[in-house]
Every structure is written in structure tokens, then in C-alpha cells.
């Protein structure tokens, strides 16, 4: 939540600076809007690529945890099988 608020703040700040710097330039309104739009879309692409990287990192962490969980489940299953075998073996010895 905090990072999304920071991104919105940075985006608004960046667009505000862009508009402030481009208003005094003697260029046509269409070009001015095109420049603002291109810069804003570039900024947005950079921010979204950062989010994509964070999501990939989280996905890798989740995959690692899933592997560990499966390993723990397999070990528990082996432990239960060993206990069952011990019960059968020691029951026959008595």
C-alpha cells in the first residue's frame, strides 16, 4: 500500500513538473500533449517493470516455500510409513 502511494505521488509530481516546464515553450498544443504523454507513458512503463520484478521475486519465494512444504510432507509420510512398519515388525516379535 505504501509503495503504491509513493508511485502515485511521484507520478503526479513528475507530470506537474513536465507541464510546468512545457507550458512556456513555444510549441503547438498537440506536440506539447504528445510530449507529456510520451514521457508519462515511459515513466509508467518504468514503474510497472519495477512492480513486475517485485512480483517475480515474490513468485520465486512462493515456489521455494512450496518445494519446502512438499519436502516436509514427503518426510512426514516416510516417518508415518516407518512407524507403521515398526508396529508390524514389533507386533510379530511378541
Cα–Cα distance measured from residue 79 to residue 49, given in angstroms and rounded to the nearest whole number: 45
**Comparison of pLDDT for 12 and 64, the residue scoring more:** 64
Evaluate whether 64 touches 31 at the Cβ level (below 8 Å): no
Task: Confirm if 40 and 15 have CB atoms less than 8 A apart.
Answer: yes
**Phi, psi for residue 32 in degrees, rounded to 5:** -60, -45
48-89 tens-digit pLDDT: 887 888 889 999 999 999 999 999 999 999 999 999 988 888
Q: Is the CA virtual torsion 6, 7, 8, 13 positive or negative?
A: positive
- Domain coverage including residue 42: 2-93
pLDDT at 21 over 90: no
Q: How many domains does the chain have?
A: 1
Amino acid at each position: 500500500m505504501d509503495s503504491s502511494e509513493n508511485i502515485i505521488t511521484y507520478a503526479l509530481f513528475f507530470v506537474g513538473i513536465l507541464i510546468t516546464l512545457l507550458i512556456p515553450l513555444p510549441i503547438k498544443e498537440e506536440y506539447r500533449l504528445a510530449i507529456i504523454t510520451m514521457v508519462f507513458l515511459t515513466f509508467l512503463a518504468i514503474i510497472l517493470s519495477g512492480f513486475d520484478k517485485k512480483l517475480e521475486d515474490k513468485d520465486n519465494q512462493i515456489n521455494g516455500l512450496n518445494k519446502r512444504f512438499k519436502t516436509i510432507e514427503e518426510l512426514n509420510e516416510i516417518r508415518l510409513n516407518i512407524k507403521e512398519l515398526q508396529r508390524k515388525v514389533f507386533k510379530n516379535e511378541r
